[in-house]
Amino acid sequence: MFLTSNNDQELYDNFKTIGLEHRINNNNVLIKINLTKPQIPLLIRTDMTLLKIVVDYIYQNGGSCAITEGGGGYLRENLIAYGFEDTLNHYNIRLIDVDLEDADEVVSYGEYHYIPKCFKEYPVRIAIPYTSKREGMIFSNNVKCFVGAVPKKMYQLDDPKELKGIPRPRIHQNLHLSVANLFHAMNDYSKFHFYINGGLPYNENTGLFTFNETFIGNDALELDLYLFQKYFSDCEYPDYLDILKNRLS
């Protein structure tokens, strides 16, 4: 299920309709974002205005939140560089850099993945990724956002020259299969309950554009399939979506 909104009030109404307001209920909320080094243009980054709206909503409904991403130790600095400092200080938000966290091993379809133990501390989990298909990359949105939710140190290869420059090279050895397996591992260990997409996505053929709506759903695959078909059908199709679809059939 997913819902669309054209303004903030409709988005708040959708938060209630889909059950986010009920789930918050004075609980701690974990928000997974996409945020790479801010000085590099056109790399994945969650829309900060949308993130602020969600954080404000959580605290206005009695909850508290933590924001998580693999920042290599610079998650706070990256958020501040994108103008999020006032919100961080106002709410005293906990930041969880997954690259600095202990993780549990989870076996998914014969593949080993490593999920931060602290994710289980949060009874409500939301993903607010950045939607993109960049040159030389695969389509990235809700399903693929979890590649950035696991510690880099657990995904290195014995030969450091192999896939040099890739943060988690072990995932890239069989990328689409590993993305699908990691998504299942995350669902098994610490399932995310809501996915919110909005802001300025990027299409390699047309560049930056604006989502005319904000989307909130409880099914990452359903929302990814819809957004790809609507906005990225001129791009290479991501095989990991078919892997996930076939496992459900």
pLDDT digits (tens, 9 = 90+) for 166-200: 889 999 999 999 999 999 999 999 999 999 999 99
Alpha-carbon separation of residue 247 from 180, 240, 241 (angstroms): 10, 11, 10
Q: What is the pLDDT of residue 193?
A: 98
Query: What angle, rounded to 10 degrees, do the helices at 239-248 and 220-231 form?
Result: 140
Calculate the CA 166 to chain-centre distance. Answer: 18
Q: How far apart are the first and last CA of the chain?
A: 18
pLDDT at 39: 57
CA 231, CA 213: separation in Å to the nearest integer?
12
What is the reported pLDDT for 92?
86
What's the rounded Cα separation, in Å, for the pair 97 and 69? 5
Structural domain 2-248, CATH architecture: 3-Layer(aba) Sandwich (3.40)
Residues in the chain with pLDDT < 50?
Answer: none
| Number of CB atoms found within 10 A of residue 222's CB | 14
SS3 at position 104: strand
Quote the pLDDT of residue 249. Answer: 78
pLDDT at 182: 98
